[in-house]
Amino acid sequence: MKFGLIGAGCIGQLRAKALAQVEGCVLSAIVDVDPVRARAMASSSDVKIFKDVQEMLPQANLDAVIVSTPPQFHEDLVVSAFKAGKHVLCEKPLANSVEACRRMVDAARASGKVLATGFNHRYFPQIQYLKQAIDTGLIGELDHVRAFAGHTGLSEFRNSWEYDINGIGGGALMDVGIHIIDLTRYVLGEVDEVYGFTSNRVWNLGASEDNGIALLRNPQGKYAVLQATWTEWKGYRFYLEAYGTKGMVRAYYAPMMNLLITQDKPGGRRKRTVRFYPMTMLREKFIGWQSSVIQMFRQEFTDFVRLTRGKESAIADGVAGLRAVEIANAVYRSSKEHIAIRLAGNI
Ligand SMILES: NC(=O)c1ccc[n+]([C@@H]2O[C@H](COP(=O)([O-])OP(=O)(O)OC[C@H]3O[C@@H](n4cnc5c(N)ncnc54)[C@H](O)[C@@H]3O)[C@@H](O)[C@H]2O)c1
């Protein structure tokens, strides 16, 4: 499959490294508004470099594009790619508004091509372990989910779009939070009711919250409580916990680990399993966290190819991208209006 990369920044470069490790996939073209950046990352003279996506799409003979620009540009680029008949993997958040996400999902449907959202956290091994523990019934019937994601906020950012409402479309919930919103929905299923609070007392970034707390509920009455924060002074970390009728499972990062507690019956004898990922910890210590991201992107690309071929795939599709932005925006509305927000069933 021939890929074009749109946006040769931090994530675009990691995406290119991961794609190079996927059999049958080749990076054929790179476009960036800064062509020096694009040229610097071309691995060979076979990779065509463009300054404008409208030049690249008709010329480069591509099957798919990866969109890794700041979120405010995702919609135009993704819709152009669908008009040119390409499959698309777009970085998270899918776009900076619910309306833009909807238009992207509609464009995908009209083109008959695949839209995937870059929710690579689904490919963390400890998340896969958690998902399997739920799916195989190890913790009994799922009752509720608890999730957290945070980092230190302003000191983390390299660009103003990362905390600008007109860039990313919100605050912590649209940034680190969007991954755990997706993960929560991944294990809990569709969410139809949202209640939440946001605050911006620490960084005072206007409409971009530094803390968001959400309560989500699915139509079966199973719920999740989650927090996304830009005031996690201990540094980047996230966790997802699932509680069931016979136990619980926790996926934590960093360090990457799992905790599983199971019982033969509710209230019965408890068995505790702790799982570490020593090779990952060592690799991250000596090579950096990017090594894990590349590994996950690699699996995500493999699943992306499967999705384009109509095969079963764990990758987040366009609807997952839209739903996550819808949930974040429902928290914003709930926080302002002090009401629970109902989300529509069908998209
Ligand atoms: N999956 C993850 O865990 C993860 C982590 C961080 C960021 N992201 C997402 O990845 C995307 C990119 O983030 P980044 O940190 O790489 O940003 P970045 O600023 O490092 O890179 C963005 C690149 O896009 C280029 N660009 C901007 N507008 C363009 C356009 N119209 N056409 C072509 N190129 C254009 C810029 O020149 C820059 O090189 C964002 O959507 C961000 O939210 C995802």
Domain ranges of the chain: 2-120, 122-284+318-342
| CATH for 122-284+318-342 (3.60.15.10, 3.30.360.10, 3.40.50.300, 3.30.70.2190) | 3.30.360.10
Q: The pTM is what?
A: 0.97
Distance (Å) from CA 43 to ligand 1 centroid: 19
Rounded mean pLDDT of 55-77?
A: 96
| Ligand 1 binding pocket, CB closer than 6 Å | 6-12, 31-34, 37, 53, 68-71, 73, 91-92, 118, 120, 159
DSSP 167-225: TTSSSTTTTHHHHHHHHHHHHH----EEEEEEE-TTT--TTS-SEEEEEEE-TTS-EEE
Question: b/e string for 23-49 if b means 16 or more Cβ within 10 A?
Answer: eebebbbbbbeeeebbeebbeeeebbb
Partners of 243 in beta bridges: 144, 248
- Helices 176-188, 125-135: axis angle to 10 degrees equals 20
Least confident of 37-41, 118-122, 166-170, 200-204: 37-41
What are the pLDDT digits (tens) for 316-347? 999 999 999 999 999 999 999 999 999 987 66
Residue 288 has pLDDT above 90, yes or no: yes
CATH of the structural domain 2-120, one choice from 3.10.20.80, 3.40.50.140, 3.60.20.10, 3.40.50.720: 3.40.50.720
**Nearest 5 degrees, angle CA 35-CA 40-CA 45?**
95
In one-letter notation, the amino acid at residue 173 is L
CA of 142 to the centre of ligand 1 (A): 36
Q: Would you say 241 and 226 are in contact if contact means Cβ atoms under 8 Å apart?
A: no
Task: Please report the pLDDT score of residue 347 as a whole number.
Answer: 65
Query: Token pair for residue 114?
Result: 């695949």
What order of strands is seen across the sheet that includes strand 115-118? Answer: 48-50, 26-31, 2-6, 64-67, 87-91, 115-118
pLDDT confidence of residue 141: 96
Q: How far is CA 162 from CA 9, 33, 135, 251, in A?
A: 13, 18, 35, 26
* Structure confidence by residue, pLDDT tens digits, 76-123: 999 999 999 999 999 999 999 999 999 999 999 999 999 999 999 999
Centre of ligand 1 from the C-alpha of residue 169, in Å: 14
- Residue 267 has what pLDDT? 82
Neighbours of 279 (CB within 10 A): 9
In order, the DSSP letters of 146-160 are EEEEE--GGGG-SSG
φ, ψ of residue 64 in degrees (nearest 5)? -150, 155
CB of 105 within 8 A of CB of 226? no
At 60 the pLDDT is: 81
From edge to edge, which strands make up the β-sheet containing 237-244? 270-276, 257-263, 247-253, 237-244, 142-150, 223-229, 211-217, 193-199, 341-342
Among protein residues, the one with the nearest Cα to ligand 1's atom 15 is 10
For residue 336, the surrounding DSSP H or E stretch is helix 318-337
**In the structure, what pLDDT confidence band is assigned to residue 129 with cuts at 50, 70 and 90?**
very high
Tokens 């991250």 label which residue?
Answer: 284
Q: Are 206 and 165 in contact (CB under 8 A)?
A: yes
Nearest alpha carbon to residue 187 among 314, 279, 75: 314
Tell me how far the alpha carbon of residue 73 lies from the centroid of ligand 1, in angstroms: 9
What is the DSSP annotation of 89-134? EEESSS-SSHHHHHHHHHHHHHHT--EEEE-GGGG-HHHHHHHHHH
Summarize the confidence of residues 193-197 as an average pLDDT. 98
Question: Mean of the pLDDT values across residues 224-238?
Answer: 98
Torsion from C-alpha of 60, 57, 117, 37, nearest 10 degrees: 70
250 three-class SS: strand
Q: Which of 69, 91, 160, 161 best tests ligand 1's pocket when mutated (most atoms within 8 Å of CB)? A: 69
